[in-house]
Amino acid sequence: MIKIFGHKSPDTDSTCSPIVYAWYLSNKKNTEAEALRLGNINREAEYVLKKFEIETPKLLEKLEDDDKVIIIDTNNPKELPGNLEAVELIELIDHHKLAGGLSTSTPVKVTMRPIACSATIIWGIMKSEGNTDIPTNMAGLLVSAILSDTLKFTSPTTTEEDKQAAEELAKIAGIEIDIHAKEMFEAKSDLNGMKPKDILLSDSKIFELNGKKVRVSVLETTKPENAIAMKGDLLKGIDELKKEESLDFMFFFVVDILNSEAEVLIQSDSEKEIAEKAFDCKVEDNQANLPGVVSRKKQIIPELERVVS
Ligand SMILES: [Mn+2]
């Protein structure tokens, strides 16, 4: 049984793409596979699984030696289980920059594309292999992942291929893209009952930028005011995480999906200096508005990498 999983802090793509690829291998390629998750899924992914009546994947507790593994939606060892050296990585499907650090004992099938979503790559594989007759719920998971990763085609990461895939898949799934995306984003924007740290870590990655350990968290939401209202507690949470994880810096971006802008929360003077230089903004009252900034991959990380030292 092949184990398929995405990255830690799984988002909709990292949750749904492994499920669909496991279904595909099991049903079309005569290869038994099972999708797993590396942590709690977010509310958007929860909404999507419920809508298409798919059970939440089991949590991957521990990889056993000689497990056969497929990784989707990351190639960064920091976002993966620690004991990958002991397993057999047979395939990697991703759309992020090469992070380096993964090594294997056997050759690996790698499909990496500079497009917005792993689900688009998976749909491309199915099409190239002549297997486009897929169930409505599998198409539903793929189109949801694309809408999530592209923020309904507004993120600068979006390509024509992502759009075309989403439209083809929406047809098969029998969903209206505008309505479905709105429902997904509303589910993701509901912070009720979430602790500050849950919010800070729900979509969060650690980067090594010029030798500094930097955690960059994003909250994509249609209601930024809900997060900003918790600013005091969120800043306290940032301070705690920096100490607990020996981070040099941490930044939290509240991305307003509907208005394509972000509010960055700034906890200390050193982070203030970095943010003002990186984004040419003015930090006041521990926050700054960043018009047009929505993508961690294309807009946030490159600017931070330029300035952090
Ligand atoms: Mn993705």
Cβ neighbours around 295 below 10 Å, total = 23
Measured between alpha carbons, how far is 113 from 102 in angstroms, rounded to an integer?
18
User: Looking at this protein, which amino acid is placed at residue 151?
Assistant: L
Task: Tell me what pLDDT residue 195 has.
Answer: 96
Expressed in angstroms and rounded, the spacing between residue 273 Cα and the centre of ligand 1 is: 30
Expressed in angstroms and rounded, the spacing between residue 203 Cα and the centre of ligand 1 is: 11
Expressed in angstroms and rounded, the spacing between residue 165 Cα and the centre of ligand 1 is: 14
Superfamily of the domain at 196-307? DHHA2 domain (3.10.310.20)
- What radius of gyration do the chain's Cα atoms show? 19
The topology under which CATH files domain 2-187 is inorganic pyrophosphatase (n-terminal core) (3.90.1640)
User: Looking at this protein, which amino acid is placed at residue 51?
Assistant: K
Expressed in angstroms and rounded, the spacing between residue 176 Cα and the centre of ligand 1 is: 21
Identical fold at 2-187 and 196-307? no
Task: Tell me what pLDDT residue 66 has.
Answer: 86
The residue extents of the domains of the chain are 2-187, 196-307
Instruction: Give pLDDT tens digits along the chain (309 positions).
Output: 999 999 999 999 999 999 999 999 999 999 999 999 999 999 999 999 999 999 999 999 889 988 999 999 999 998 999 888 889 999 999 999 999 999 988 899 999 999 999 999 999 999 999 999 999 999 999 999 999 999 999 999 999 999 999 999 999 999 999 999 999 999 999 999 999 999 999 999 999 999 999 999 999 999 999 999 999 999 999 999 999 999 999 999 999 999 999 999 999 999 999 999 999 999 999 999 999 999 999 999 999 999 999
DSSP of 87-141? SEEEEEEE-S--------SS--EEEE-SSS-HHHHHHHHHHHTT-----HHHHHH
Measured between alpha carbons, how far is 49 from 36 in angstroms, rounded to an integer?
14
Expressed in angstroms and rounded, the spacing between residue 8 Cα and the centre of ligand 1 is: 12
Measured between alpha carbons, how far is 80 from 94 in angstroms, rounded to an integer?
13
Measured between alpha carbons, how far is 23 from 160 in angstroms, rounded to an integer?
26
Measured between alpha carbons, how far is 253 from 245 in angstroms, rounded to an integer?
19
Q: CB-based contacts of 14: which residues, under 8 Å, 6+ apart? A: 5, 6, 7, 37, 38, 72, 73, 74, 118
pLDDT (tens digit, 9 = 90+) per residue, 159-184? Answer: 999 999 999 999 999 999 999 999 99
Task: Tell me what pLDDT residue 83 has.
Answer: 85
Task: Tell me what pLDDT residue 82 has.
Answer: 87
Expressed in angstroms and rounded, the spacing between residue 149 Cα and the centre of ligand 1 is: 6
Summarize the chain as % helix, strand, coil (round to 5). 45, 20, 35
Q: Tokens 């968290």 belong to which residue?
A: 217
pLDDT (tens digit, 9 = 90+) per residue, 260-283? Answer: 999 999 999 999 999 999 999 999
Task: Tell me what pLDDT residue 301 has.
Answer: 97
Nearest CA to 138 out of 118, 117, 158, 123 is that of: 123
Expressed in angstroms and rounded, the spacing between residue 118 Cα and the centre of ligand 1 is: 5
Q: What is the chain's mean pLDDT, rounded?
A: 96
Task: Tell me what pLDDT residue 105 has.
Answer: 85
Expressed in angstroms and rounded, the spacing between residue 66 Cα and the centre of ligand 1 is: 27
Measured between alpha carbons, how far is 65 from 72 in angstroms, rounded to an integer?
20
